[in-house]
Amino acid sequence: MTLPGDGPARLHGTALRVTVYLGESDTANGRPLYSEIVRRARAAGLAGASVFRGVEGFGASSRVHTSRLLSLSEDLPVAVVIVDTEQHVRGFLPVLEELVGEGLITLDEVEVVRYAGRPGSARG
């Protein structure tokens, strides 16, 4: 649940994690898709979003993408991970469904043990 207050957002207990798996070269509105998702998540007031770059993977196309030097893949796998309350995450799903043409979106229930912003930082 999200606790109200004047400081940074705080989560504790049961929350929902949405993970979006996509390709590094996917774009939306002239920018990398992962960057657009993070921008929209911040604008929507979600607790946070992180982008993780994969070193190798394949998806629906079954084409292997890798960062190995001898391979010239330019579309490495990327995962965008967002954790917030179920209400906030589910409210953001229509945005993801609009943005993500090719890719995979998953939801997991998670237990938040600690989440706190840095002193002096503001949410938003």
Rounded mean pLDDT of 9-34? 91
Rounded mean pLDDT of 68-96? 86
Say how far apart CA 124 and CA 121 lie, in whole Å.
Answer: 10
**Residues 6 or more apart in contact with residue 113 via CB below 8 angstroms:** 12
Mean predicted lDDT score pLDDT of the chain: 83
Give the chain's domains with CATH numbers.
Answer: 13-112 (3.30.70.120)
Of 105 and 122, the structure prediction assigns the larger pLDDT to 105
Rounded mean pLDDT of 74-92? 93
Residue 29, pLDDT above cutoff 60: yes
**Residues 6 or more apart in contact with residue 30 via CB below 8 angstroms:** none
Give the pLDDT of residue 15: 96
Say how far apart CA 108 and CA 110 lie, in whole Å.
Answer: 6
Say how far apart CA 36 and CA 23 lie, in whole Å.
Answer: 13
**What is the enclosing helix (H) or strand (E) of 52?**
strand 49-53
pTM of the model as a whole: 0.79
